[in-house]
Amino acid sequence: MKEIVIKKTDRSAGTFPAVDRLRCHRCLSEDIGVDVDNRFFCRDCLATSDLLVLRKERDVKQRDHGINLFVSLSDSQKSGCDFMKTCVVNRIDGKVQAVCGAGKTEMTIPAIHQALRLGWRICFAIPRVQIVLEIAKRLQTYLPDTNIKAIYGEKKDDSGAHVIVSTINQLVNYFEEFDLMIIDEADAYPYVSSNLLKRLVKKAKKPRGIIISMSATITLGSEFSILIHKRHHGLELPIPKFIQTPNWNALLKNDKLPSSFLDQLRKWRSKTLPILVFVPTIKVGSKLYNLIQEAGFCCQNVSSDSPSLHAIVDAFRQRRYEVLVSTTVLERGVTFEDVQVAVIMTDHAIFDASTLIQICGRVGRFTDSPGGEIVFFSEFRTRFMKVAREYSRKMNIKGKAN
C-alpha cells in the first residue's frame, strides 16, 4: 500500500502551509487548533499536523468476478437494480428510498458486480457497526469469487479487498479510494447529523466516484432517485397498533409490568413466536429484562454497550431465547423470521417517526412468514406514532397501485 505522508510544519520559521492551515488532510475539517505542545491539531479527528498519514492505492489484484444471485428478484427489486446500474454506467449519484423489507442489499448486487467488472473499487458503508458483519456475509454469498472484507473497530485489514464493508468512521483512513460508495441507512444516526462523517465519505470517494444512498426513510428531492413501495415478497407492510398503558416509569419503579403487555407476550409465546421488545434507554432495558425473566420468560437484553451483541442476536435467531429486549441498536438492518415486535414507552422522545418506521420494518420480512404484529405500548399517542402508521398505509396503497 502506498502512503501519502503529510509534511511536517516548519515551526522554527513560524510558517504553516496554507493547505494545512485551512484543512485537515485526514478528515477535511477546517477546525484547526494548537495544542499545549504548540502542535497544530484537528478538533474533529484529533490528528496532529506532523503525524497525518493518508492511505491510498491499495494493491488489489483484478480477477473474474462471479455472481450468485440465487434469489428470485421481484419486479420492484429489478427496478431498483436497473436504477443502480444506471448510476454506475453514467457515473451519477443516486438515492434509493425503499420500504423496509424491500431487499435493498439484493438490489445492489448487479450494480456492484458491474462495477467490479469495470475494475472499480467499492465501499459499502453503514453508520452502525452492528450491521457491518451481517452485510459482509450476505455480499460474500452473492459474490463468491470477490474478496470482501469487513472494516470496523480494530478490524482494519483491507488487504486485497475488492469490496470493503465499513462503518463510516473507518473512512477516516481512506483518501480518494473508491469509485462506488453505497451508503446504507443514509438517514441513520450518527451519519445524518454529522458533518464530520459526511466529510469522511467525500474524502474517501475518488474525484469521479459516485455515491448511492439508501434507506426506507431517506428524503428524496430533485436528485436522481427512485422510490420502491413494495416489499420483496409483494405483501403489505404491517400496520402498527396502539395499546394505551399506564405510566411506565411508575410501574417499573415498583417492579411491575402492565397486564396488557404481559398478556400480549403470553399470546405470542403460545404460538411459539420470537418476541423483540424495543426500549428507549439502556436503563429501562435492564429493568424490563429482569421483570420479563421474573414473569417466566426466557429472555436476553442487548444495547450498543453489549460486548456479546452479535452472539446474542444469533442465539435469538436460533430461538434460544423467547424474548429479546433491545434499545434502538437493532432498529435497522437486522432480520428475524416470524418475529413479533413490541415498543414500550413509545411516547419517549427517542422514538421519532424514522425510528418507528424502521422498527415496524422488522416484522414480516420473510416470504415464508410475511405476517406478524407490531404493537406500541405507551401512555400517550404521539405525532410520530401516527406518522409511522400513516407511512405504512400510504406505502401499501401505492404498492397496490403499482
From residue 209, how far is each of 36, 68, 176, 216, 306 by CA, in Å? 39, 26, 8, 24, 36
Say how far residue 66 (Cα) sits from the centre of its chain: 26
Sign of CA dihedral 144, 148, 152, 158: positive
- Determine, yes or no, domain membership for 63: no
Residue 53 scores a pLDDT above 80 = no
Domain count, the chain: 3
What is the structure's pLDDT at 69?
81
Max mean pLDDT among 153-157, 173-177, 352-356 falls in: 352-356
Q: Which set of grid coordinates corresponds to residue 279?
A: 426500549
Q: Are residues 208 and 263 in the same domain?
A: no
Residue type, 6: I
Residue 35: CB atoms within 10 A of its CB come to 10
With a CB cutoff of 8 Å and minimum separation 6, the contacts of 290 are: none
Is 3 exposed, middle or buried (CB count within 10 Å of its CB: 0-12, 13-18, 19+)?
Answer: exposed
Domain final position from 228, 251, 270 = 228
Strand order in the sheet with 323-326: 241-244, 374-378, 340-344, 275-278, 323-326, 299-302
- Average confidence score pLDDT of the chain: 87
**C-alpha gyration radius of the chain:** 23
Distance CA 124, CA 163 (A): 7
Q: Which domain holds residue 245?
A: 241-401
Q: Are residues 190 and 245 in the same domain?
A: no
Q: Which set of grid coordinates corresponds to residue 190?
A: 450518527
- Determine, yes or no, domain membership for 62: no
- Tens-place pLDDT, residues 208-261: 999 999 998 888 877 899 999 888 888 889 999 999 998 999 999 999 999 999
Domain final position from 168, 201, 228 = 228
- Determine, yes or no, domain membership for 361: yes
Q: Are residues 10 and 109 in the same domain?
A: no
Q: Are residues 257 and 395 in the same domain?
A: yes
What is the structure's pLDDT at 2?
38
Q: Are residues 40 and 139 in the same domain?
A: no
What is the structure's pLDDT at 351?
97
Domain final position from 189, 206, 228 = 228
- Tens-place pLDDT, residues 314-338: 999 999 999 999 999 999 878 899 9
Q: Are residues 213 and 272 in the same domain?
A: no
Taking Cα atoms as reference points, which of 104, 144, 101 lies closest to residue 124? 104
Residue 385 scores a pLDDT above 80 = yes
- Determine, yes or no, domain membership for 69: no
The H-assigned helical ranges of 99-160 are: 104-117, 132-142
What DSSP string describes 284-326?
HHHHHHHHHHHTT--EEEE-TT-TTHHHHHHHHHTTS-SEEEE
Residue 202 scores a pLDDT above 80 = yes
Q: Which residue has the higher pLDDT, 385 or 176?
A: 385
- Tens-place pLDDT, residues 12-41: 333 333 333 346 767 777 777 777 777 777
- Determine, yes or no, domain membership for 234: no
Residue 190 scores a pLDDT above 90 = no
